[in-house]
Amino acid sequence: MSSISLETKTRSEFGKGASRRLRREALVPAIIYGGGEDPVAVTVEQRVVNKHLNDDAFYSAIINLDVDGKREKAILRDLQHHPYKPVIMHIDFQRVRSDEEIHVRVPLHFIGEDNCVGVKAGGAINKIDVEIEVACLPGDLPEFIEVDVSALDVGNSIHLSEVTLPDNVRSIALSHGEDHDRAIVSLHATRAATETEEEETVEDSGDGEG
């Protein structure tokens, strides 16, 4: 699993005015809460946050926070984006404890698309879910979960119950019962493939003797 570390500094000023001043200084207001301790208000450098925004691990891995020299382990709980500027407005971090189960949304990595049976037959893959919520201890948290679609044929789908989860990791949705066993990816025929099949059917029907 990837290791992400962020340096933070505690802050004592609060409110919209203080937050605006921090953002002008390229700092992102943030809060660290949970783990049986009091919440701590901190700041993180905007440029440091930007480096991790396209990294899947930033959203699902355990993050090592340095809070004025004190080490904290946390997960990202919320990112507030500016409505139209490429700026993060606020971050929520939740502390984790090694002996307490956490619920985290983990990205799905779909593999085998190039060799997919249904794609070769002219179908198209529809990724219904790109992440799923799982429960596990922090030490068992996967950075991502692989879903092999190579055997998927046209008209078929893969459900949550068919996904192989890592050891000691369980699906939150499936824990609520079989009726929550939804499809996460399906493969449907494209219009072009359907038209080709119809043309072949017409051609075959005209091959007989009149």
Amino acid 15: pLDDT:
77
- The b-or-e profile of 160-178 (16+ CB within 10 A means b, else e) is beebebeeebebebbeeee
Higher-confidence residue of 192 and 54: namely: 54
Q: Give the pLDDT band of residue 197 (cuts 50, 70, 90).
A: low
Greater confidence, 110 or 199?
110
160: closest CA among 187, 179, 141, 144?
179
From residue 109, alpha-carbon distances to 12, 72, 113, 146 in Å are 41, 29, 11, 5
Domain boundaries, the chain: 4-97, 103-197
12 pLDDT band, cuts 50/70/90, is confident
pLDDT score for 57: 87
Q: What is the mean pLDDT of residues 55-65?
A: 90
pLDDT category at 210 given cuts 50, 70, 90 is very low
Asked if 108 contacts 144 with a C-beta cutoff of 8 angstroms, the reply is yes
Is the pTM higher than 0.85?
Answer: no
- Which range is least confidently modeled, 9-23, 56-70, 84-98, 147-161? 9-23
Q: What is the 3-state secondary structure (H, E, C) of 59-78?
A: HHCCEEEEECCEEEEEEEEE
Strand 131-136 with 27-34, pairing: unpaired
pLDDT band for position 202 (cuts 50, 70, 90): very low
Which class is 103-197 in CATH?
Answer: mainly beta
What is the pLDDT averaged over residues 183-206? 66
Over range 74-103, report the average pLDDT. 92
Give the pLDDT confidence score for residue 39 in this predicted structure.
93
Q: How far apart are CA 172 and CA 170, in angstroms?
A: 6
Evaluate whether 4-97 and 103-197 have a shared fold. no
Q: Residue ranges of the alpha helices (H) in 10-168? A: 16-24, 46-52, 56-60, 117-120
3-state helix, strand, coil in the chain (%, to 5): 25, 40, 35
Q: Which CATH superfamily is domain 4-97 in?
A: Ribosomal Protein L25; Chain P (2.40.240.10)
Residue 136 above 50 pLDDT? yes
More confident residue, 69 or 156: 156
Task: Record the tokens describing residue 99, joined without a space.
Answer: 């002996």
pLDDT mean over 142-167: 95
pLDDT beyond 90 at 163: yes
Predicted confidence (pLDDT) at residue 151 exceeds the cutoff of 50? yes
Q: What is the mean pLDDT of residues 141-162?
A: 95
